[in-house]
Structures are given as structure tokens and as C-alpha cells.
């Protein structure tokens, strides 16, 4: 396994590194789909989102007290409507780096009595007017499961357990009664809890070695599950297989997931699109470590912890992922609107290919959270007067609405290019999913200039001729939306009667297409 050091921001190589290979495969891509051969289940949790106390993600993003666009509780109605189009099934909060110096009790109770704190992660003043209960309320509004990450940097294991008691306990105890005092008679029932964020990194408050983190996380996990044995825990993973091995050998019996993060991108069009294969490499390495750790734990799981130990294999939570390289101003004290990354159509193609990757790995990647949801490296951008949707919003919306819940076998052969970083990359990235009698074929044409044709053969079920075509495109790969021009990139749809057991289709250059066929 390749050791990936420092933070797993996997930058693509510069433009000079792109090697254009001879076309050794046919110009027309051949595609064979067996609609009955299921290779993975797609967990809808891969369409999750993430919000952090950073820049204008929360304040000025989803939450803006006093705004004419906000409701009486301070939630931006226009932002909520956009988020509801994405239908995120899970929402991660409060960080991110922010969580490693965040103490949750600062953010509960009467808002005017909450302390203002200096956030050492992003060099900003935190008002704490958006806290645990506001987060739960927002999740309920958008029908998302809350996923809370606890502070294992500067926080204590008791603090983590107290948060579980406050959120989930129905007992007559201090923190359950404190929640009731704050106006919430019934437990919140938070199912997903993260055991710290990126604790391996020196940029993290209270960062630790793998051994030290594993000791603290195990004790936190025990105390949290002693309060509520039903919760599902996410261990802090890294891009370093050695870190993951140490953590899983200590925690594999008590956690349900291990997290991985990836940020990528450069000005090089083809290398950025190729970097999805770097994400796949990270998944393969993590999966191998899980396999080895599972074998080592089998038969010697720790006893006496007082709650049922997990008997199934640890799953992967890809709980931060995105393109991020243009705006690196997160710790610039003079910048208030931090990390407001502009995205273009090329970035939307990358996003769609990442969704294909998560779908293909559906039995092992069972949660993913794009970082972040609003304003900060985000698909939704706001101003005091309104919002616009960046190009990477649209593949999230399209695939959430039209992908199936089963990945079916899809074989392809066609033209490709050569990446200096990852080797051969297909120009057409194709993934097929099915839900009942509906087959959804997602296709990303990575070619910058040329439309590419594909010849499809659909087996295993009778494919009807009628269907729908959804497409995301723009005048160039650099096309982007803005407040002045919000509709450069979007989703177009049309009916088609040209499908069947065999059919051909031409995919425009730099495009995302989803073919929806009855089978």
C-alpha cells in the first residue's frame, strides 16, 4: 500500500504533466449492461452534506437572523428551498477543524446568554447563536439525519458522553433535564456520531498520534455507548494506512465507520478529472486496511464493555470530499468570506464521477458528505439579497433524484487518455443503476472538445424504447453561474423514444448525461 502523508488533499499534477496517449481503443465506446446482475447496493447516505462554523457557511448562509429572507427562527427560506432540492439524507456538523476547540454547551440555552468565543481553527469570533438545537431543528426541516462530530481535540470523553445524554436520553438525569429545560421534551435521537476530526493533523487543536487518538477514542466510544448503545460511531481515519491500521485494531469492534477525506483540483482540466482515480486508490487502501484489521479482531474482541460489540465489517464514511484549490484563505484573519471557491462546469463533471465512484463502492462506502453545503467550497452561494447555484449543485440534484438503489454490471471499452498521475482514464465514465423497472445510466464525457458516441447493449431485462434524457452542460468547461448570470449551467431534460435492447447515443463534449430507461 502507498503511504499518503500529511493531509489527504490530493492535488493533481500541473498541466505539463499530462501525457496525451495514442488512441488504442475504438472511437465509439462499447457498453454492455446486464440489468439483472447487481454488483452493489447504493446507500442514499452517499448524498450527504456537511456544514461547519467557517466563513459564511452557517451565519449568512443557512442562518441569518434579521434577514428579510429568513423566517422567525433565523433560517434562510431561500437557502432551505435550495437544500431541499438536494435532499441530503444526512448532514454533518459542527466540523471540520472547528470542532476541535468547540464546546457544545456554549451553544445551548437562551441565545442572548451564550458566550462569544474566539475560534482558533479559522481565526474568527463565534457567537454560538447557532448551536446543537438549531442544528437538530434544521435537520428536521430538510428531512436529514443529524451527524454530530464530537471534540476529541481539546474536549474530554465526559463532554462527549454528556452530549449524547443531552441529545438522546429519556432518563431523569442532569443533561436530559437540561434539554427539557431548553424546550425539547423528547430526545433528539441522534444516530450518527463522529469521534473527532482529522486528529492526525498538526493543524488540528489537540492533534494526536494514532496510538494516543485510539486510546482516547475508545474511552469516548465506551462512555457514549453506555449512554445510548444504539448510536453509530465514525472513527477518524486518514490517508495514511498505518494510522488507519492502528485505529481500527483498537476501535474496530466498537465503531461502525472509518472516515476518509479528499480535496483535489488544479487548473489542469484533464488531470483534475483524472483525480477521481486517486480517490478510488484511497478507497482501495482503506478497504485493504479494514480487511486486515477485521481478520485480526476476529475471535479476540474485547469483552466487558457493557454494550453489544459490532460483529460486522467497518464501513467507509467519505465525510469530506470536494474540489478545493483556488481559495486558500481559511486562516487569513483579514478575510471574512473565507473559502468561497468558484466552481465551473469541469468541476461538475468531477462531482458526477465521484458519485459514480461512491455508487460502484456502494457496499463499502455507505456514507459520504460533500464539504461544504453553503458558501464555503459549496454548491450554493448567497448574498443578503438572494442566491445562485454553482455548476456542481446540479449533478448532486440529478443523481439524488434519478439514480437507482442497485448498481448493475456495466462493461465499457472506448477511447481514453493518459494521466501522468493515475495512468489510463476513460473519456466516457459510465455507471448504471436500477430501481425496480427503471434503469438509470449516468455518463460523463470528459473530452474537452469532442462529442463521443457509445453503442449500448442492454441485457438481463427487456429495455423499452421510451425514456428520458437529462443533461448538464454549458458553452465551455469553464462555464460558471453567478448572481449576474445564474443560468449558464443547469439541467435540461427531454423525452426520447430511441432506446431499446440496442441503441447508440452521442454525448456532447464536457457534459453529464443521465439516460432513464424502462426495463
Nearest CA among 281, 290, 158 for reference residue 226: 158
Q: Are 114 and 107 in contact (CB under 8 A)?
A: yes
322, 347 contact by CB (below 8 A): no
- Distance (Å, whole) CA 325 – CA 344: 13
Q: What helix, strand, coil percent values describe the chain, rounded to 5?
A: 30, 30, 45
Q: To which H or E segment does residue 229 belong?
A: none
Which residues are bridge partners to 439 per DSSP?
434, 517
Please give the grid coordinates belonging to residue 355: 458519485
Give how far Cα 119 sits from Cα of 108, 152, 153, 161, 420, Å: 17, 16, 13, 23, 40
Q: What φ, ψ does residue 247 adopt, rounded to 5°?
A: -65, -45
Question: What is the Rg, in whole angstroms, of the alpha carbon atoms belonging to the chain?
Answer: 23
Distance from C-alpha of 372 to C-alpha of 377, rounded to nearest angstrom: 6
- Residue 413 has phi, psi (to 5 degrees) of -145, 125
SS3 letters across 256-309:
CEEEEEEEECCCCHHHHHHCHHHHHHHHHHHHHHHHHHHHHHCCCCCCCCCCCC
β-sheet bridge partners, residue 316: 258, 365
Question: Is 320 part of the annotated catalytic residue set?
Answer: yes
- What sign does the CA torsion over 421, 422, 425, 431 have? negative
Opening angle at CA 403, ends 423 and 321, nearest 5: 50
Three-class secondary structure of residue 395 per DSSP: helix
Among this protein's residues, is 340 annotated catalytic? no
C-alpha 392/C-alpha 402 separation (Å) is 16
Cα distance between the two ends of the chain: 41
Q: Which helix (H) or strand (E) holds 172?
A: none
Beta strands in 290-398 (DSSP E): 315-323, 365-371, 380-383, 386-389
Rounded Cα distance, 108 and 184, in Å: 11
Catalytic residue among 134, 198, 271, 516, which? 198
Query: How many Å apart are CA 25 and CA 53, to the nearest integer?
Result: 48
Cα–Cα dist 9/261, whole Å:
8
Which of 165, 320, 341, 397 is catalytic? The answer is 320
Instruction: Spell out the residues 6+ positions from residue 22 whose beta carbon is closer than 8 angstroms to its own.
Output: none
Catalytic (active-site) positions: 198, 320
Amino acid at each position: 500500500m502507498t503511504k499518503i502523508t500529511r493531509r489527504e488533499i490530493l492535488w493533481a499534477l500541473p498541466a505539463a504533466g499530462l501525457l496525451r496517449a495514442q488512441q488504442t481503443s475504438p472511437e465509439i465506446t462499447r457498453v454492455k449492461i446486464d440489468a439483472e446482475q447487481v454488483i452493489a447496493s447504493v446507500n442514499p447516505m452517499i448524498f450527504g452534506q456537511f456544514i461547519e462554523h467557517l466563513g459564511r457557511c452557517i451565519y449568512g448562509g443557512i442562518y441569518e437572523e434579521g434577514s428579510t429572507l429568513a423566517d422567525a427562527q433565523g433560517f434562510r427560506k431561500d437557502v432551505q428551498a435550495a437544500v431541499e432540492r438536494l435532499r441530503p439524507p444526512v448532514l454533518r456538523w459542527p466540523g471540520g477543524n472547528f470542532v476541535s476547540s468547540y464546546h457544545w454547551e456554549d451553544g445551548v440555552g437562551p441565545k442572548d446568554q451564550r458566550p462569544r468565543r474566539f475560534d482558533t481553527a479559522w481565526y474568527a469570533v463565534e457567537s454560538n447563536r447557532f448551536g446543537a438545537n438549531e442544528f437538530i431543528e434544521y435537520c428536521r426541516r430538510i428531512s436529514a439525519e443529524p451527524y454530530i462530530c464530537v471534540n476529541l481535540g481539546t474536549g474530554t470523553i465526559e463532554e462527549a458522553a454528556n452530549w449524547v445524554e443531552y441529545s438522546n436520553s429519556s432518563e431523569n438525569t442532569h443533561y436530559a433535564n437540561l434539554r427539557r429545560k431548553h424546550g425539547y421534551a423528547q430526545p433528539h435521537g441522534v444516530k450518527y456520531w463522529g469521534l473527532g476530526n482529522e486528529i492526525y493533523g498538526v493543524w488540528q487543536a489537540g492533534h494526536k498520534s494514532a496510538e494516543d487518538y485510539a486510546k482516547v477514542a475508545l474511552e469516548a466510544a465506551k462512555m457514549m455507548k453506555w449512554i445510548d448503545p444504539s448510536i453509530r460511531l465514525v472513527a477518524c481515519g486518514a490517508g495514511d494506512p498505518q494510522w488507519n491500521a492502528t485505529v481500527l485494531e483498537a476501535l474496530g469492534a466498537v465503531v461502525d465507520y472509518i472516515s476518509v477525506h479528499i480535496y483535489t483540483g488544479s487548473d489542469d482540466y484533464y488531470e483534475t478529472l483524472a483525480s477521481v482515480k486517486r480517490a478510488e486508490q484511497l478507497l482501495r487502501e482503506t478497504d485493504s486496511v479494514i480487511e486486515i484489521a477485521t481478520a485480526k479482531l476476529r475471535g479476540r474482541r474485547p469483552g466487558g464493555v457493557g454494550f453489544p460489540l459490532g460483529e460486522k465489517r467497518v464501513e467507509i464514511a467519505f465525510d469530506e470530499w470536494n474540489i478545493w484549490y483556488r481559495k486558500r484563505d481559511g486562516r487569513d484573519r483579514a478575510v471574512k468570506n473565507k473559502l468561497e471557491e468558484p466552481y465551473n462546469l469541469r468541476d461538475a463533471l468531477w462531482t458526477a464521477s465521484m458519485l459514480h465512484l461512491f455508487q460502484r463502492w456502494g457496499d463499502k462506502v455507505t456514507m459520504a458528505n460533500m464539504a461544504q453545503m453553503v458558501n464555503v467550497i459549496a454548491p450554493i452561494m448567497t448574498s443578503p439579497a438572494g442566491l445562485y447555484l454553482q455548476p456542481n449543485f446540479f449533478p448532486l440534484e440529478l443523481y439524488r433524484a434519478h439514480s437507482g438503489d442497485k448498481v448493475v454490471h456495466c462493461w465499457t471499452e472506448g477511447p481514453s487518455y493518459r494521466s501522468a498521475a493515475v495512468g489510463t482514464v476513460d473519456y466516457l465514465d459510465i455507471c448504471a443503476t436500477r430501481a425496480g423497472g427503471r434503469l438509470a445510466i449516468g455518463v460523463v464525457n470528459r473530452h474537452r472538445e469532442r462529442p463521443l458516441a457509445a453503442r449500448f447493449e442492454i441485457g438481463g431485462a427487456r429495455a423499452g424504447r421510451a425514456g428520458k434524457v437529462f443533461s448538464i452542460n454549458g458553452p465551455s468547461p469553464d462555464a460558471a453561474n453567478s448572481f449576474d448570470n445564474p443560468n449558464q449551467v443547469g439541467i435540461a431534460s427531454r423525452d426520447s423514444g430511441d432506446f431499446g435492447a440496442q441503441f447508440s447515443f452521442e454525448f456532447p463534449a464536457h457534459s453529464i448525461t443521465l439516460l432513464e430507461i424502462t426495463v
